[in-house]
Copies of this chain bind each other. A is one copy, B any other.
Amino acid sequence: MQASRRELIKGIGAGAALAGAMGAPIAFAQPSAPSQPSTSERTMIIDCHGHYTTAPRQLQAYRDRQIAGLKDPALMPAQDTMVISDDELRASVASQLRFQRERGTDVSIFSPRAAGMGHHIGNAAVSLEWSQVCNELIHRICTLYPQNFIGVCQLPQSPGVAPANCLGELERCVKEYGFVGCNLNPDPSGGYWTDPPLTDRWWYPVYEKLAELDVPAMVHVSASANPNFHGTGAHYLAADTTAFMQFLTSDLFKDFPTLRMIIPHGGGAVPYHWGRYRGLAQDMKRPPLSELLLTNVYFDTCVYHRPGMELLLKVVPADNILFASEMVGAVGGIDPFTLNYSDDTKKYIDAIPWLSEADRRKIFEDNARKVYRLTQLPAAR
């Protein structure tokens, strides 16, 4: 068995030596100058939402063969036919590492490309093969760059198939790879929403396993197969909003008090409509939102303009916000209004004058440490 991710994280105190020995570039590994704040003073910047959107072309070629194999089983590829060298992997994340350096991100919580999960394609067996292939690449990236990436897995979901079929891959990724969470797709059908809501007992085996492993899930749909929904412009945000409302109307977190769910993309429409949700909860005699959120529901900061970011930070308690950029991701360009990358979300947060240092630290570091149980991650240097 390979060294687990947890072991690597444990060993990260000697991270420079370890990564150096593996031939990996070392970001942020310069020895601190005496004028730098001490390790315990500088806030570590943890980006909880990064996807491997820059994988070498072999990955998509493998997927294409897999899809061809659905029609003609003779074409179905074996997993070991997808060969990518370590050098190719390094080259593939060069842009990711450059963005980390340029933007001041210390480490990204890193998962397979969300749109690529494609749970609606094929069947559960195909989904399992594909998830294993994708998760292994994440593990290899995390092993090559243990200071820069912490893994989160894709699950082998399939529409109409009980999510209990995902437990093996989830456990494997956490126990063997040291991954710290998973992406959970609330709509494996890809935009037709044919499976039960996340609060249905249909999903409970996943939550039992998450509780047992003590890792969180990010609620994240994949590509839309429905022509009504643009992926990053509609399906993602609609799913985030939908999941929150499912949580609001159920007692899921009474059944799983330690379950942590991250709703990405700034929580979809939720913070913008905070008053609506507060009012709906009240009308429905549900607990106040703060009670619902508390230790179970978190929003990331993937909101690509300052007014939106300010709104998020104004209405959602700082304890429930995790820094994220979704880079290299949904929106790749430079905003002509700010001349910064739209998805350089740290800049929006840094520009907010009324955000207290304590809240800033929660958002950038402490909450991620808490939610993902990053107890082994050393302090920022």
Q: How far is the CB of A168 from chain B (nearest CB, A)?
A: 26
Q: How far is the CA of A304 from the CA of B276 in the complex (A)?
A: 5
Q: Are B276 and A233 in contact (CB under 8 A)?
A: yes
18 A/B residue pairs, CB under 8 Å, sorted by A: A192-B194, A193-B226, A196-B227, A232-B280, A233-B276, A234-B245, A234-B246, A265-B273, A265-B276, A266-B272, A266-B273, A273-B304, A276-B305, A276-B331, A279-B343, A282-B336, A283-B331, A308-B315
Instruction: Give A232-256 as 1s and 0s: 1 = Cβ < 8 Å from B's Cβ atoms.
Output: 1110011001101110110000000
Residues in B whose Cβ lies below 8 Å from that of A257:
none
Whether A42 is near chain B, meaning CB under 8 Å from some CB there, is no
Q: Are B331 and A232 in contact (CB under 8 A)?
A: no
Residues in B whose Cβ lies below 8 Å from that of A308:
271-275, 311, 315
Residues in B whose Cβ lies below 8 Å from that of A342:
275-276, 278-279
Interface residues of A in 188-240 (CB under 8 A from B): 191-197, 200, 226-230, 232-234, 237-238
Which of B192, B233, B242, B271 is A193 in contact with, Cβ under 8 Å? B192
Q: How far is the CA of A272 from the CA of B227 in the complex (A)?
A: 23
Whether A268 is near chain B, meaning CB under 8 Å from some CB there, is yes
Question: A-side interface residues toward B, CB under 8 Å?
Answer: 186-187, 191-197, 200, 226-230, 232-234, 237-238, 241-242, 244-246, 248-249, 265-266, 268-269, 271-280, 282-283, 303-308, 310-311, 314-315, 330-333, 335-337, 342-343
Q: Are A280 and B248 in contact (CB under 8 A)?
A: no
Which of A269, A279, A282, A337 is packed against the most chain B CB atoms within 10 Å? A269
**In chain B, what residue has the closest Cβ to A226?**
B193
A335 touching B279 in the complex, CB below 8 Å, given contacts A187-B228, A197-B227, A311-B311: yes
Residues in B whose Cβ lies below 8 Å from that of A271:
272, 308
Q: How far is the CA of A233 from the CA of B197 in the complex (A)?
A: 14
A275 touching B304 in the complex, CB below 8 Å, given contacts A238-B241, A280-B232, A333-B282: yes
Residues in B whose Cβ lies below 8 Å from that of A229:
193, 242, 245
Q: How far is the CA of A279 from the CA of B335 in the complex (A)?
A: 7
Q: How far is the CB of A163 from chain B (nearest CB, A)?
A: 14
Q: How far is the CB of A270 from chain B (nearest CB, A)?
A: 8
The 9 closest A-B pairs by CB, nearest first: A275-B305, A275-B304, A279-B331, A269-B269, A238-B238, A272-B272, A279-B342, A233-B245, A234-B245
Which of B230, B248, B269, B275 is A272 in contact with, Cβ under 8 Å? B269
Q: How far is the CA of A325 from the CA of B246 in the complex (A)?
A: 24
Q: How far is the CB of A308 from chain B (nearest CB, A)?
A: 5
Q: How far is the CB of A239 from chain B (nearest CB, A)?
A: 8
